[in-house]
Amino acid sequence: MNKKDNLSGQQAVTILGSTGSIGVSTLDVIARHPERYVVWAITAHSQVDRLYQQCIIHKPRYAVMVDPQAANALTQRIQKAGLDTVVKAGLEGLKEVASMKEVGTVMAAIVGAAGLEPTLEAVKAGKRVLLANKEPLVMCGHIFIEQAEKSGAVLLPIDSEHNAIFQCMPPGYHAGAKHSGIRKILLTGSGGPFRQRDPSTMTDITPDQACAHPNWSMGRKISVDSATLMNKGLELIEACWLFNVMPDKVQIIIHPQSIIHSMVEYLDGSVLAQLGNPDMRTPIAHALAWPDRIESGVEALDLFQVAQLDFEQPDFGRFPCLALCYRAAEAGGTLPAILNAANEVAVQSFLDGQISFLDISRVIEHVMNSMKHNEASSLQAVLDDDAMARKTAMEFVQSRLRVINRA
């Protein structure tokens, strides 16, 4: 009996980006419930060793490597091990496993714009899509929402903040805040590792320091985004699309303990909050089983041990990326995609030692000021401005490097 024939009573799950922290946590939750879920496909860019080990343990029907050479290497190891897993390659492989008829749920956890097209394929195919990557809604939110309405796809947020908001929202929130009794969304964030750092010392921040998040264990790119608060700004844009609210209805609150993951304030004065230990398996388990609840493996929250919850206003002077995100959210069109593309280039340049931590926001602001944004009328229009933003950002980084080298 093959895996396709053995899906009675189980949800088949494709995990886009299974070697990242979200993918690993998803596999952990799934493994706790073999009677409910089966791993249909897993994907990675080029980490052959990690994906191979996941194939050994979880025995997916398909594995996809974006890099063709990595796909060939994985194929050889799969065949040598005698596994039944079929290896596919490239963007087309990602799109295929995201939209296969056997698949009911797709975890979209590919970091950056690379996850845009396969996630959209899953939406078009009417899947339950667990959104762990912000970029699809940041770059072209209205396209995703429109396609979900056409196909019947269900979009469930995995970011701890958006998942918390989802749990606190009333039925019918898609009608908008005005019609659902919502005053505002309170989007919390830890403030990252530099919340209280002297701004005069921020020029010397190293990549390792920026990636040392105080509460969460994440990949390097998203860790840097957390350190600049760009991550919180992207979440602002995503929240506007997910919950049909304007940017002025989303208030960002710094909450260092990361215990309250977000809140919703109602017109009658009520504030609903979702609390839990900072562990991504909680929102993953919630979205996998929704509207049911299942065991996630997360330790129960001990409020006596927590003892204290603090809240602060974000410092826009210390974190200029946050102000840039509000600007992009209010302008709309392709400007959020331009902001996101410039940030991806800037963060990678910082991680590569080419620019300083403070240069990240300078790169983004330069690109946003240099480019004329357009209507996000189609996926191609978004991708065109994304490509131009990356080119403009790279040129700006190179110009700064030339200045440094001359000095």
d(CA 58, CA 140): 33
- CATH number for region 4-157: 3.40.50.720
Domain range list for the chain: 4-157, 332-407
Given CATH 1.10.1740.10, say whether it is the number of domain 332-407: yes
The token duo for 38 is 């089966």
- Helix or strand run (H / E) with residue 402: helix 379-406
- pLDDT tens figures, 128-139: 999 998 888 999
The token duo for 253 is 């609150």
Closest Cα to residue 349, out of 405, 398, 383? 398
- pLDDT tens figures, 164-213: 999 999 987 775 666 788 999 999 998 888 888 888 888 889 998 888 87
pLDDT in the model for residue 2: 41
Is 223 buried (19+), middle (13-18) or exposed (0-12) by CB count in 10 A? buried
The token duo for 209 is 């320091």
The DSSP output letter for 170 is P
- pLDDT tens figures, 345-383: 999 999 999 999 999 999 999 999 999 999 998 999 999
The token duo for 37 is 């879920």
d(CA 384, CA 48): 31
Closest Cα to residue 393, out of 358, 365, 357, 356? 365
pTM for the structure as a whole:
0.89
d(CA 354, CA 352): 6
pLDDT in the model for residue 5: 41
Closest Cα to residue 100, out of 14, 37, 16? 14
User: Do residues 385 and 344 lie in contact, with contact meaning Cβ atoms separated by under 8 Å?
Assistant: no
Closest Cα to residue 187, out of 244, 144, 233? 233
Closest Cα to residue 327, out of 234, 208, 212? 234
- pLDDT tens figures, 241-296: 999 999 999 999 999 999 999 999 999 999 999 999 999 999 999 999 999 999 99
